[in-house]
Homo-oligomer: A and B are copies of this chain.
């Protein structure tokens, strides 16, 4: 990097939520000047950066004007105006991950085609232009229908059980996917810098909240076999190489009951499945993302100890000014790290924070995490 960036670099982050917030906590160590754009004037990053701008991430002019005087732009959410990023790239602003990578990942149809073209294992699928097409798909019922664009955290995903259910299916461009009979949801976060150095974090296993379809519980390191872990990491590395991405890439996968790994989807940024790296690994995912986009040597991803991550989701039936029950009791347990996201208002299943529980004894870490899940509640 030509510019001496420790203190001079102007870094823009599209999105000012918790991922941006934790990225800033780390960016402080590098003297980076951080600029944030977010539509919400109360976004978690609002008071932690050199400049906070309120505006739409989908609007061409807003994103272009936000970025045109910056040196580098990164994202904490992939639903952003890619045309603006492409123009900024042409004008010399460094955009990591690159606009073409964001464009591809924004569209779950393009993602699936990319997997197919590059021989990356994934569930059988078919692209669908409109609801009527569903009657002709070769994917057999029941199947999953996913909107090609704008789905996140389980939104934009529907299970179609039978022909009658097609009436309630999404109208917009979508894809249908074979139902995967999976044993576990697993994830590997991989980083790649512009020199082409690629490094994966060890595989993690996730448990989802069935009601909200959000990661609720995550254990690192995994106890899956060495073969499975290696295979998942190799897949993640291959995707990073095939994409030639610069930055972090979260690769969410299914481990099927017959031991197959199928890639589910990608996120080109820090990810909920990597929060435990802050305390559990030598390098955190946020530090690694910065190393990758700054073209620095990638850090060691080695596990330091057992870490369990639980999301603090807004309790069902509570909406309003957030109150946190049980923080004091949770902090009385050894190895407990509470991360609150600075969100003033809670609503059911809103991600309000997370807790990382570390322990040299894995069972103890899990036991403590289960206990904290019971006592720590976000209410209003």
Contacts and interface: CB of A to CB of B under 8 A. Distances in A.
B31 A342 contact: yes
Interface string A317-350: 0000011100110011011011111101000000
A47 interface: yes
A62 interface: no
A380 to B, nearest CB: 11
Interface in A296-310: 296-297, 299-300, 302, 304-305
A28 B48 contact: yes
A116 to B, nearest CB: 37
A30 B340 contact: yes
B7 A328 contact: no
A6 B47 contact: no
Contacts of A340: 6-7, 29-31
Number of copies of this chain that the complex holds: 2
Contact of A339 (B29, B49, B300, B322): B29
Interface in A31-53: 31, 33-34, 47-50
A4 interface: yes
A58 to B, nearest CB: 27
A28 B30 contact: no
Size category, A interface: 35 or more
A151 B259 CA distance: 67
A282 interface: yes
Given A297-B328, A304-B305, A328-B296, A338 B30 contact: yes
A28 B332 contact: no
B338 A29 contact: yes
Nearest to A304: B304
A30 B355 CA distance: 12
A47 B10 CA distance: 13
Interface in A1-19: 4, 6-7
A80 B73 CA distance: 40
Given A28-B21, A49-B47, A282-B334, A4 B324 contact: yes
B334 A29 contact: no
A291 interface: yes
A331 B300 CA distance: 10
A277 to B, nearest CB: 13
B334 A300 contact: yes
A213 B178 CA distance: 68
A82 interface: no
A230 interface: no
Nearest to A51: B47
A302 B305 CA distance: 13
6 contacts: A6-B322, A28-B48, A29-B340, A282-B335, A300-B335, A304-B304
